[in-house]
Amino acid sequence: MRPTTKDLAKEAGVSLATVDRVLNGRSGVKERTIKAVNEAIEKIGFVRNMQAANLARSKSYRFQFILPDTGGEFRNMLLASIKEANHSFSSESTAAQGKQIAVNDPHAITNYITALSVDDVDGVAIMAPESPQVRDAIARLSERGIEVVQFLSGQPKASKVDFVGIDNHAAGSTAGHIMGRFLGPEPGKIMVISETMQSRDAIERRLGFDEIVNSQFGQLSILPSLETYGNENRTNLIIRQCLENNPDICGAYIMNAEAQLPVTAIDQTADISQMVLVAHERTTFTEAALRDDRIDAIIAQNTGHAVRSAIRIMRARHEQREPFASQETIRIEILLKQNL
Amino acid sequence: MRPTTKDLAKEAGVSLATVDRVLNGRSGVKERTIKAVNEAIEKIGFVRNMQAANLARSKSYRFQFILPDTGGEFRNMLLASIKEANHSFSSESTAAQGKQIAVNDPHAITNYITALSVDDVDGVAIMAPESPQVRDAIARLSERGIEVVQFLSGQPKASKVDFVGIDNHAAGSTAGHIMGRFLGPEPGKIMVISETMQSRDAIERRLGFDEIVNSQFGQLSILPSLETYGNENRTNLIIRQCLENNPDICGAYIMNAEAQLPVTAIDQTADISQMVLVAHERTTFTEAALRDDRIDAIIAQNTGHAVRSAIRIMRARHEQREPFASQETIRIEILLKQNL
DNA sequence: TTTTTTCTGAGGTACGTACCTAAAAATGTT
DNA sequence: AACATTTTTAGGTACGTACCTCAGAAAAAA
């Protein structure tokens, strides 16, 4: 049987109330007594029964995911994953909710974050480009006792807040490796397409991609990144121009989550079956495109896993536990037709 | 607030005791009353608070993983994953334990399984080759009220018990696709190496591999499978012979979990950097070999995820819930140097 | 109708923890 | 030594469910 607070009290030679004060960091306990209790915890291997604790506290967790209000299918997949996670966490009395904010407007997101209170929410997972204002707002959130994780976007290491998502540099490298190996020894040019190159994520992917291709596949040369700004006409135009100006294009790396416009544009201008296309993120479009060979490989991250991971991390932090790191790494998945 | 049993009782117009009888399937409740309670459950959306229930029941779950007593690193990784899962599930009062049994001896494993009782264990995850005896023993386990999942090995669809692991046919196809794309248009022969071809898993991987390579990469021809029986001398011998007899070998597919012997044997006889090697399962050896380019790709399954998944499924079944399918699919991972 | 059987209600205790109060004990101060 | 203050104890109720008992109601059988 697992030792209970009662056993712990007996072992430490104090009362239940004192044990409670120590465990929950309440005041009015002498240093010496605290130490005695902690030693007893070590000695008998006491682990708090969080279920009983949450029951007694009748605590339930409320988490929010702050997502861009723009963005098509991938954003919808995230929302769906949140809903699903919500379902699978319902038995642990934790609820998650997706909020769509104009994340590219630092003012809007800062306003939203600043208005959040511990009464509304226990933690937020934020998917937004970095900016000093946002960073500040996030820091103030933490100070107010709201847990924060950076979600899918942002820098893993630089900040103190937890990050959930893939290493974009490694993801770019992976894409570059696939591209190089799939293309073979023939020389050629590679088109790189992104919605924008403003975001750190895009920059890192591009860096990783370039690094591998330039160092290991010297026969290939990478063209400057094309920015679509998510606009259909512009996408069609710049891709057509690029293909016409470079008849020796043999591959395309589509860096942003919405691959539909670029892939369609390429398909309309060139013989897509002769090219190697690598895209990011699993959506119904990329899946279909992989199936009918318009795309050759997808670099993806498991959104369901990412959402659950963010929730688990926020909960662990809230309970002042360390998250189990090994379970929370989001893997860079390579999807081919066969392992969809 | 989530409705409680009290709310449910009031809504159904019955007492708490009756609600309890219905919820826990105890006898002595009229059909009509049962129906009324169930309708009330639907109506107010009652969900049992499993934490409170487990607390009241002071129930803890004990699960066992039955693994082969042979097998090297991969088996150790599984044991490590079990230990880790044990740790991360400890706060949910469920404990898992790895047992090493001579799974290839149907008699030994049947004996072991048959001796298991509900007093010892609530569920077992079995990683063992199929045989009629074992299938029978598993069926009897279920009847005795012990949950069973087939773990990593065995057939996903045929039986009624849950299966946790990858689709080996798809894994073989994935390996075939990687092999074909990485090798390029040059013709050549591919060596296929397995510890044994007796197991269904190996057969299915080979089938999937052949299917893709033959249909999409006609320039390649696949040699008959070499069986190592896990013996070092034999491995060295047959691989050397094979390489000498077929100087045009350009790739090798190592199907079983232990890649060390075959890779080392190939490395000693041929120029491994000129060949494409695809191996299964992430171990410290395959990782190192991928890093220094002896192996080109690893087809893997996340053992940590698989273990946790098996535990969650056994628990769900024990609580008479449906597992959340989407969370329990084990993905076929493709590992390259960049996304380790 | 009466008797037997089946069903239901009311109430309790328990699980392990949180959190509250009142009072006792230990400590410090003058 | 008397007082003030801090620390600790003892005891309680609560969370939502399980599981037990016993009495009473309803239904079925005699």
Q: Could you report the per-residue pLDDT of A158-169, keeping only the tens digit for each?
A: 678 899 999 999
Residue A338, in any domain of the structure: no
User: Of residues 34 to 63 in chain A, which lie within 7 A of strand C by their beta carbon?
Assistant: 46-49, 52-53, 55-57
pLDDT at res. B226: 96
> Same domain, yes or no, for A185 and A197?
yes
Domain around A289: 168-300
Q: How far apart are CA A296 and CA B91, in angstroms?
A: 43
pLDDT band (50, 70, 90) for residue B157: low
pLDDT at res. A129: 84
B87, B304 contact by CB (below 8 A): no
Residue B336, in any domain of the structure: no
What CATH number is given to the structural domain containing B43? 1.10.260.40
- Round to a whole number and report the distance in Å from the CA of A261 to the C1' of C9: 66
pLDDT at res. A158: 62
pLDDT at res. B243: 94
> Same domain, yes or no, for A70 and A10?
no
What CATH number is given to the structural domain containing B192? 3.40.50.2300
> Same domain, yes or no, for A176 and A286?
yes
Q: Which two tokens stand for residue B187?
A: 């013709």
> Same domain, yes or no, for B205 and B321?
no
pTM of the model: 0.90
- Round to a whole number and report the distance in Å from the CA of A300 to the C1' of D11: 58
Distances A333 to A170, A172, A301, B331 between C-alpha atoms, Å: 11, 12, 6, 9
Q: Please, where are the H alpha helices in A62-105?
A: 73-88
> Same domain, yes or no, for B134 and B235?
no
Residue B340, in any domain of the structure: no
pLDDT band (50, 70, 90) for residue A182: very high
> Same domain, yes or no, for A129 and A217?
no
Is the pLDDT reported for residue B255 higher than 90? yes
Residue B70, in any domain of the structure: yes
pLDDT at res. B158: 62
A275, A266 contact by CB (below 8 A): yes
| Cβ-based interface (< 8 Å): residues of B facing A | 2, 47, 49-52, 54-55, 84, 87-88, 90-93, 170-171, 173-174, 176-178, 181-182, 184-185, 208, 212, 296, 302, 304, 308, 324, 326-327, 331-334, 336-339
CB-defined contacts A:B, below 8 A: 105
Q: Which strands make up the sheet holding A188-194, listed edge to edge?
A: A220-227, A188-194, A249-254, A276-280, A297-300, A333-335
Average per-residue pLDDT for chain A? 91
Residue A339, in any domain of the structure: no
> Same domain, yes or no, for B16 and B38?
yes
* Strand D closer than 7 A to residue A247 Cβ: no
> Same domain, yes or no, for B211 and B228?
yes
The more confidently predicted of residues A81 and B321 is A81
pLDDT at res. B249: 95
Least confident of A220-234, A321-335, B217-231, B242-256: A321-335
Residue A56, in any domain of the structure: no
Is the pLDDT reported for residue B264 higher than 90? yes
Domain count along chain A:
3
Q: Which nucleotide is nearest to B58 (CA to C1')?
A: C15
Half-sphere exposure of A60 (CA within 13 A, CB side): 15
For the stretch B53-86, pLDDT in tens is 888 988 889 999 999 988 788 999 999 999 999 8
Is the pLDDT reported for residue B11 higher than 80? yes
Residue B338, in any domain of the structure: no
pLDDT, mean of residues B168-179: 97
Residue B286, in any domain of the structure: yes
> Same domain, yes or no, for A25 and A84?
no
pLDDT band (50, 70, 90) for residue B156: low
User: Smallest Cα–Cα separation from A315: which of A157, A100, A95?
Assistant: A95
Residue nearest to nucleotide D26 (CA to C1'): B30
A279, A295 contact by CB (below 8 A): yes
pLDDT band (50, 70, 90) for residue A93: confident
Q: How far apart are CA A319 and CA A122, in angstroms?
A: 11
Q: How far apart are CA A309 and CA A314, in angstroms?
A: 9
Query: Which chain D positions have some atom within 7 A of a protein CB?
Result: 6-12, 14-21
For the stretch A111-124, pLDDT in tens is 999 999 888 899 99
Is the pLDDT reported for residue A319 higher than 90? no
pLDDT, mean of residues B183-211: 94
Helix (H) or strand (E) holding B98, with range, is: strand B94-101
Q: Give the pairing of strands B333-335 and B297-300.
A: antiparallel
> Same domain, yes or no, for A256 and A307?
no
Question: With an 8 Å Cβ cutoff, are B51 and A91 in contact?
Answer: yes
The CB density around residue B6, as the number of other CB atoms within 10 Å, is: 10
Facing A338 at nearest CB: one of B170, B182, B326? B170
> Same domain, yes or no, for A36 and A69?
no
- Round to a whole number and report the distance in Å from the CA of A318 to the C1' of D12: 29
The CB density around residue A224, as the number of other CB atoms within 10 Å, is: 10
Residue B222 pairs in a beta bridge with B190
> Same domain, yes or no, for A99 and A118?
yes
